[in-house]
Structure 1
Amino acid sequence: MEIVTFVLIGTVIAILIYGVLIYNNLVRLKHDVSKAWSNIDVLLKQRHDELPKLVETCKQYMKFEQETLEKVMLARSAVSRALSQGDVAAVGAAESQMRLGLGNLFAVAENYPDLKANETFLHLQSRITGLENSIADRREFYNESVNINNVRIEQFPDLILAKQFGFKPAELLEFDETELKDVDMGALFS
């Protein structure tokens, strides 16, 4: 065999190894996006399991604040529907409504000193606040994973293998305009 043949075989092997590395990285990124979404899903389920307990505790103290409680429960249902349908955009919109409802619920609690002093309410409020912070962190991680995935499947030479093997861009979890605005604390307490 001539040296040209060895060079040609070496080049083909190097290209194949490089292609396998690209493919494996694309698969890892796709699964990172799925894992990030699953992490959000777990936290949302935890919040939705604890939310009825908070609402029930509040109901014991507030009979005439039904509208606020109903909005929270409707938003909870909307999130559950969106999650079961796998609709990322709808989850983002429903989550915005949920956060507003929870803000209103906590604002209503400000008007009830007995409720604010109730140990169960304080524990649940603390737990939901912690879950909200965790969800915000997971949302950021999910969107970062989606962004990395989407950039990689559009970059050369990765896009060649991405198109060949059907890698699709993932959808960012975006927020409603109301989620991006500052909270009007005066409106929450009126």
Structure 2
Amino acid sequence: MALILLALAAVWLALAWRGLVAARDAVDATWTAIDVHLKDRQALVPALVAAVQAETVIEAETLARLTSARDDAAVASTPWERADAERRLVSGIGAVSAIADRHPGLGCAAAFVDLQARLAGLDDDVNSARRVYNADVRLYRARRARFPGTLLRRLGDFTDRPYFELDHTRDRGVPTLALVRSAA
């Protein structure tokens, strides 16, 4: 009887190990998908800078910030660093869109319009991949936090994985609403 219980415990631990490995590998695979989309977006930045420079010469500071943000995103190594760098890159791309609002000729340039459409498509791809990645991270963290994952994670490479957020929603508090009673 003891041998059967020992065998059942060994099978249970093996299945738990396998589930933890599968969850970790899913997180790593979906991170790779995000990474591909982010690199595609970074690859468009030089063309975007060139398109803006062809139409206007007075926005050098904005373009320099965009180029710097791209370079930072390219060398970021952890998902946390990558998210911060990508936030700056998205902000820089938004600043370039504001340039197009100030310079109507830029908004009509075919190369610029094409790049904006490609960037919008990549943003959609990044957001879709981010949702899948964050769901995989949620499952992985749950498996790490439950028994026997709490024991097994010490035996393998089961380090924590961060959620990937491109905005500051995690830093926002609950909005407050001030109600004012009218004197009527």
* Count of matched residue pairs: 172
Give, in whole Å, the separation in 2 of the partners of 1:164 and 1:128: 42
The code of the aligned residue for 1:114 comes to G
Deviations along 1:46-74, whole A, 9 cap, x unmatched?
A: 11111211111111001001111111101
Amino acid at match of 1:112: H
User: Greater CA deviation, 7-16 or 25-34?
Assistant: 7-16
Is 1:88 equivalent to 2:82 in the alignment? no
Greater fraction helix? 1
Deviations 1:98-138, CA, capped at 9 Å, x for gaps = 11111110111112222211221111100011111211222
What does residue range 46-65 of structure 1 map to in structure 2 within 5 Å?
A: 46-65=40-59
Residues 153 and 41 from structure 1, CA distance in 2 versus in 1: closer, same or farther, beyond 3 angstroms?
Answer: same
Please, which runs of 5 or more residues in structure 1 have no aligned partner?
Answer: 1-6, 182-190
SS at structure 2 position matched to 1:44? helix
Unaligned regions of 5+ residues in structure 2, if any?
Answer: 173-184
CA distance in 1, matches of 2:170, 2:60: 23
Alignment-mate amino acid for residue 64 of structure 1: I
Aligned to 1:4: none
Q: Pairwise CA RMSD of aligned residues?
A: 2.1
Listed one character per residue, the Cα deviations across residues 132-168 of structure 1 (whole Å, up to 9, x for unaligned) are 1211222232222222212211101222222233422
1:122 pairs with 2:110: no
Amino acid at match of 1:56: A
The secondary structure found in structure 2 opposite 1:64 is coil
Specify the alignment match of 1:30 in structure 2: 24
| Structure 1 letter corresponding to 2:62 | T
CA distance in 2, matches of 1:153, 1:117: 52
Amino acid at match of 1:42: V
2:69 alignment partner AA: A
Match of 1:18 among 8, 12, 19: 12
Change in 2 beyond 3 A, CA 1:166/1:105: closer
Instruction: Tell me the distance in 1 between the aligned counterparts of 2:157 and 2:115.
Output: 45
Q: 1:169 to 1:9 in 2, by over 3 A?
A: same
Q: Deviation string for 1:61-98 (max 9, x for gaps)?
A: 0100111111110100110111xxx2222211111111
Report deviation, 1:179: 9.5
1:24-51 C-alpha deviation (Å, 9 max, x unpaired): 1111111111111111110111111112
Judge conservation of contact 1:96–1:179 (CA < 8 Å) in 2: no
Q: Distance in 1 between matches of 2:44 and 2:115?
A: 7
The normalised TM-score by structure 2 is: 0.84
**2:32 maps to 1:41:** no
The percent of aligned pairs where both chains have the same amino acid is 27
Partner of 2:73: 79
CA distance in 2 between partners of 1:166 and 1:71 (Å): 37
CA separation of 1:96 and 1:178: change in aligned 2, threshold 3 A? farther
In 2, Cα distance between the equivalents of 1:165 and 1:34?
15
